[in-house]
């Protein structure tokens, strides 16, 4: 297939493109879902195709095809080049990325494609049945999900790249009910890993602990409301990093002046204790990639350092427009979607305090535990998140379990109140959309962080 991609690039250049690339991709997604100890779904989805992309001055031309035969790919290449030439937008030429020839296989212990389906189904059944620790557990859900991506890319600067991405995730969720009250609890494990995620997990213990925690939720109390000292757990820290600061640091939002962080480079935006990065090189993280979908090697991009804003995540196009280097953040959901500036693994970096020390200093406040949802606001910088549960802190001690509550505020105001940062970073894997579509695998997280945040109990 590499030969066909090379010929396509040569054809687009012959048609007058200033820059062009050709990308072949196969994405296979496998899933097993078990509900109440019964197999609900076994699925396999696969998409495969070629994307031809050409740029002339400021205009891009795209063409895609599911037919990877040479004649069809070359026909699509001509169409992409002519689409670009038909535009009249003014823009910067993509700087030479340099030639690079690489072939990479995913570094996993157990490739999911080599594990029998029967073994996988039994594993999901085992962790689902283990959740039923009490008659008050009224519903159990368990999922195994595998994502396999095969990528090839050739561009007009001499890049010829081939790489594989493997991701595996397991999730369990138990619902408990008593006296008209219903609560739930969940846990997720996985990342840029193979089937070792399952083999290295004690599945019965994994399910059983989630069942027990869902029962505890039946006695959880309402959280206090108002502006409080709040220790955010890594998942809530990650929501703040990803949903607000991360989306607003995607350079296409800056170019369009749709970010509250426009013109913030070099200015203080947070407490001196706060450092934030987007790092696509973190081993085994769900958002890690060897290259983005433009062939740029993944990198560690400093967004905030010691409270001072450093810069943005870049694609080839935005880097050319802003006169900086691309950061490896040009990503697409699949071969038939356009490239946008996207995050990889976005998180606050570690500090120097352990959690016990952070709790001991709190006279009255809340420790969060597990996020449910969050909202992005790259324009206004507002922060809103929902925590699954938390713990009340009184006089330096945890005293009560709290049920679900919301956290709200202005991101920069919250970051400015940071007075303690934990010494251990944890990442949660998920998928991120650009708005409501164009989903890519990512991670977010950080250490425990102590801020002043407005809480609202449900």
- For residues 241 and 105, membership in a common domain is answered with no
Are residue 97 and residue 60 in the same domain, yes or no? yes
Return the pLDDT at 375. Answer: 86
Instruction: Please check whether residue 361 is in contact with residue 392, taking contact to mean a CB–CB distance below 8 angstroms.
Output: no
* The last residue of a domain, from among 219, 245, 277: 219
Q: Which of these ranges, 81-95, 175-189, 197-211, 366-380, has the smallest mean pLDDT?
A: 81-95
Mean pLDDT, the chain, integer: 96
Return the structure tokens found at 261. 């962080």
Distance CA 249, CA 295 (A): 21
Task: Return the pLDDT at 22.
Answer: 98
Per-residue tokens: 37: 């100890």
Residue 57 pLDDT? 84
What gap in Å lies between CA 23 and CA 49, rounded to an integer?
8
Q: Are residues 116 and 168 in the same domain?
A: yes
Percent of the chain with pLDDT over 70: 99
Same domain, 238 and 203: no
Are residues 247 and 164 part of one domain?
no
Q: In this structure, are 437 and 339 located in the same domain?
A: yes
Looking at the fold, whether 210 and 175 belong to one and the same domain comes out as yes
Check whether 263 has a pLDDT greater than 70. Answer: yes
Same domain? For 210 and 246 the reply is: no
Choose the final residue of a domain: 219, 248, 270: 219
Q: Are 34 and 174 in contact (CB under 8 A)?
A: no
383 pLDDT more than 90 = yes
Q: What does the pLDDT read at residue 458?
A: 66
CATH number at 107 reads 3.30.2290.10
pTM score: 0.95
Q: Which residues contact 351 (CB under 8 A, 6 or more apart)?
A: 273, 420, 421, 422, 423, 447
Do 33 and 159 reside in the same domain of the chain?
Answer: yes
Count of domains for the chain: 2
Does 88 lie in the same domain as 18?
yes
Q: Examine the pLDDT at 324 and tell me if it is beyond 90.
A: yes
Does one domain contain both 281 and 382?
yes
Pairing of strands 38-56, 159-178: unpaired
**What span, in angstroms and rounded, lies between the C-alpha atoms of 171 and 188?**
4
Three-class SS state of 96? coil
Q: Which of 161, 196, 219 corresponds to the end of one domain?
A: 219
Is 429 in the same domain as 357?
yes
Range of the domain at 108: 2-219
Partnered with residue 387 across adjacent β-strands are 371, 405
Return phi, psi of residue 177, to 5°. -145, 140
102 closest CA partner among 282, 343, 298, 344: 298
């Amino acid at each position: 297939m590499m030969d066909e991609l090379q010929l396509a690039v040569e054809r687009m250049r012959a048609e007058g493109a200033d820059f062009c690339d050709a990308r072949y991709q196969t994405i296979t997604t496998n899933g097993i879902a078990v509900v109440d100890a019964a197999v609900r779904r076994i699925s396999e989805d696969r998409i495969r195709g070629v994307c031809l992309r050409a740029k002339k001055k400021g205009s891009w031309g795209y063409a895609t095809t599911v037919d990877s035969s040479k004649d069809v790919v070359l026909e699509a290449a001509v169409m992409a080049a002519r689409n670009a030439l038909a535009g009249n937008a003014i823009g910067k030429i993509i700087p030479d990325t340099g030639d690079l020839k690489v072939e990479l296989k995913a570094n996993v212990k157990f490739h999911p494609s080599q594990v029998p389906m029967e073994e996988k189904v039994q594993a999901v059944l085992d962790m689902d049945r283990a959740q039923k620790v009490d008659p008050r557990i009224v519903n159990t859900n368990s999922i195994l999900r595998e994502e396999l991506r095969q990528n090839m890319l050739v561009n007009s600067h001499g890049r010829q790249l081939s790489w594989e991405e493997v991701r595996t995730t397991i999730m369990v969720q138990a619902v408990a009910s008593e006296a008209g009250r219903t609560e739930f609890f969940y846990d997720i494990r996985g990342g840029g890993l193979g089937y070792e995620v399952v083999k290295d997990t004690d599945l019965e213990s994994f399910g059983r602990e989630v069942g027990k925690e869902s029962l505890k939720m039946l006695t959880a109390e309402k959280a206090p409301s108002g502006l409080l000292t709040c220790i955010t757990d890594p998942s809530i820290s990650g929501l703040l990093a990803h949903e607000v600061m991360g989306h607003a640091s995607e350079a296409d939002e800056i170019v369009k002046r749709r970010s509250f962080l426009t013109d913030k480079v070099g200015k203080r935006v947070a407490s001196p204790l706060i450092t934030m990065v987007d790092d696509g090189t973190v081993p085994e993280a769900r958002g890690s990639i060897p290259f983005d979908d433009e062939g740029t090697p993944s990198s560690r991009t400093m967004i905030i350092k010691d409270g001072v804003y450093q810069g943005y995540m870049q694609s080839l196009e935005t880097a050319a427009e802003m006169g900086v280097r691309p950061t490896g953040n040009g990503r697409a959901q699949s071969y038939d979607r356009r490239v946008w500036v996207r995050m990889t693994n976005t998180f606050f970096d570690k500090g120097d305090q352990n959690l016990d020390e952070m709790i001991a200093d709190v006279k009255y406040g809340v420790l969060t535990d597990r996020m449910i949802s969050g909202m992005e606001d790259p324009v206004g910088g507002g922060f809103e998140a929902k925590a699954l549960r938390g713990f009340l802190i009184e006089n330096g001690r945890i005293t009560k379990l709290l049920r679900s509550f919301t956290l709200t505020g202005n991101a920069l105001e919250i970051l400015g109140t940071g007075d303690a940062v934990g010494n251990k970073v944890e990442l949660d894997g998920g998928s991120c959309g650009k708005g409501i579509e164009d989903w890519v695998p990512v991670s977010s997280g950080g250490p425990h962080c102590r801020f002043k945040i407005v809480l609202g109990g449900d």
